[in-house]
């Protein structure tokens, strides 16, 4: 008789978009494929940067893998730190078209959905652990209004049907190669992001109740 398979952690990244040829969010999560963290196996999936197709791919992965934990990762070029997102809002307001050429403006993600969902991750405990390990990280109060927020909101909406499953979203900066093409914008190597994600997964799997620490914004 074979041993019971390990429970899954789903990490998602995105395909390139906006004229970029790479996306470090996918490079980082792909690097962790198959790793074992806190008795769970990491499974990586790449989501298209398309409003409709991204949620189809995400829902398929949720049904296929029945994960215990889901962390979606996306790129926010110009940010200097990794951002643990606190809240997803029920709106699409696309500054640029997605990779399918669609550019919805002022549309709801879910017509009858709530205005917002808060993350299911212990982001303050993750923040403390990541900072203590020397990673540049912050809590962010906005995931934008593009495909990243769309996926974050769609994830939290979908997880209503998966009791006990934690989920959330992290934004990361440009890679160094990308930053060189963007007037020296802040950057972080995908390998460093992967190390931080490994630690973040461990915290999310083992910390039941989040800690209280100030990390709000004044503007």
At 3 the pLDDT is: 60
Could you give the maximum distance between any two Cα atoms of the chain, in Å?
A: 58
218 located within any domain? no
> Which residues are tagged catalytic?
85, 148, 171
pLDDT, averaged per 10 consecutive residues of the chain (219 residues), comes to 80 94 96 98 98 98 98 96 98 97 98 97 97 98 98 98 96 94 90 98 93 69
**Domain membership flag for residue 214:** no
CATH number at residue 65: 3.40.630.20
| Global pTM value | 0.95
Enclosing domain of residue 177: 8-206
Is 1 contained in some domain? Answer: no
pLDDT of residue 215: 65
44 occurs within a structural domain = yes
219 located within any domain: no
Structure confidence at residue 4 (pLDDT) = 67
Residue 212 located in a structural domain = no
Query: Could you write out the three-class secondary structure of the chain?
Result: CCCCCCCEEEEEEECCCCCCCCCHHHHHHHCCCCCEECCEEEEEEEECCCHHHHHHHHHHHHHHHCCCEEEEEEECCCCCCEEEECEEECCEECCCCCCCCCCCEEECCCCCCCCEEECCCCHHHHHHHHHHCCCCEEEECCCCCCHHHHHHHHHHHHHHHCCCCEEEEEEECECHHHHCCCCCCCECCHHHHHHHHHHHHHHHHHCCCCCCCCCCCCC
pLDDT value, residue 218: 46
In this structure, is residue 188 part of a structural domain?
A: yes
Count: domains in the chain: 1
């Amino acid at each position: 008789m074979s041993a019971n398979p390990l429970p899954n952690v789903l990490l998602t990244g995105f395909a390139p978009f906006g004229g970029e040829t790479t996306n470090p969010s996918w490079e980082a999560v792909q690097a962790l494929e198959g790793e074992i963290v806190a008795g769970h196996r990491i499974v990586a999936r790449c989501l298209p940067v398309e409003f409709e197709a991204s949620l189809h791919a995400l829902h398929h992965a949720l049904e296929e893998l029945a994960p215990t934990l889901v962390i979606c990762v996306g790129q926010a070029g110009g940010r200097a730190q990794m951002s643990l997102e606190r809240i997803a809002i029920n709106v699409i307001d696309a500054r640029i078209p997605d990779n399918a050429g669609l550019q919805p403006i002022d549309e709801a993600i879910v017509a009858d959905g709530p205005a917002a969902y808060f993350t299911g991750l212990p982001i303050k405990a993750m923040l403390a652990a990541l900072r203590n390990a020397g990673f540049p990280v912050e809590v962010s109060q906005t995931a934008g209004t593009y495909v990243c927020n769309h996926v974050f909101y769609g994830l939290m909406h979908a997880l209503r049907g998966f009791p006990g499953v934690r989920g959330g979203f992290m934004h990361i900066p440009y890679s160094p190669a990308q930053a060189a093409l963007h007037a020296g914008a802040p950057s972080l190597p995908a390998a460093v992001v992967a190390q931080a994600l490994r630690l973040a997964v461990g915290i999310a799997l083992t910390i039941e109740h989040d800690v209280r620490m100030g990390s709000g914004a004044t503007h």
